[in-house]
Amino acid sequence: MLPAITMSQVDFHYPGKQALFDVTMNIASREITALIGPSGCGKSTVLRCFNRMNDLVPGAKVTKGDIHVLGRNINDPALDVIDLRRRVGMVFQKSNPFPQSIYDNVAYGLRLQGETSRHVTDEAVERSLRSAALWDEVKDRLRESAFSLSGGQMQRLCIARSIAVQPEVLLMDEPCAALDPISTAKVEELICQLRAHYTIVIVTHNMEQAKRVADKTAYFLLGELIELGDTMDLFTQPMRRETERYVRGEMS
């Protein structure tokens, strides 16, 4: 099976600063890949390259190399960025439900695409909430504000909103960073269940979380990809000294 995402010798710059240096990596389809490394190492920049969220930063750009997502060069001028972001959903560190009802949050993307059938929307909302392991908790509260939910529920709602438009890739930028341990466990369980249907890339500072959920793990340092491999191999028998020092807690 072809990789879902490939990066080939990618350099990336913000105004006045180079953030990525010659990054080459493949991300397999229908697997969970964790990106780890100290703060400022480039892992969130990598994640935001995949759906061109970095376009929102004036002057930020890929200056060398190629990125292909689902078979398309995403820096092709002819690429429809809106369609790319439909196919590549994103969940942020801080849950960001809209100031609308639970139902309207999940239906938002469908309506944005022009879906007008109430029957289709109802089915999609229920399917997405079930997939996000939230349906049983909110099925009698769909018209209530999304802000009435707990922090963990709001994050699962954001996941449901992302998958309602049936993307192929899910990007998650520290999705459990603001959650308590019980909510974190529920979101991690959900991430593992979603692996069967989506390619998932997750940025995490929590190495134990990477061990629990990821099939592959990539370690970044100062904008460089140091090592990418099977998660257990990377944590138990890393190939690079830099990786070994990081996973042993000798550097932060």
Residue 252: its pLDDT value, please?
59
Residue 156 lies in a domain: no
* Segment (H or E) for 73: strand 72-73
Residue 158 lies in a domain: no
Residue 107 lies in a domain: no
Q: Residue 216: beta bridge partners? A: 33, 230
Residue 93: its pLDDT value, please?
85
Residue 168: its pLDDT value, please?
95
Residue 234 lies in a domain: yes
Residue 216 lies in a domain: yes
Q: Are 11 and 20 in contact (CB under 8 A)?
A: yes
Q: Residue 10: beta bridge partners? A: 23
Domain tally, the chain: 1
CATH number at residue 221: 3.40.50.300
Q: Which domain holds residue 185?
A: 5-96+168-247
Residue 249: its pLDDT value, please?
85
Cα 109 to Cα 28, 90, 115, distances in angstroms? 26, 12, 9
Phi-psi region of 2 (alpha: psi -120 to 50; beta: other; left: phi over 0): beta
Residue 44: its pLDDT value, please?
94
Residue 78 lies in a domain: yes
Residue 75 lies in a domain: yes
Gap between the Cα atoms of 206 and 189, Å rounded: 15
Residue 116 lies in a domain: no
Residues of the chain with pLDDT under 70: 251-252
* Segment (H or E) for 189: helix 181-194
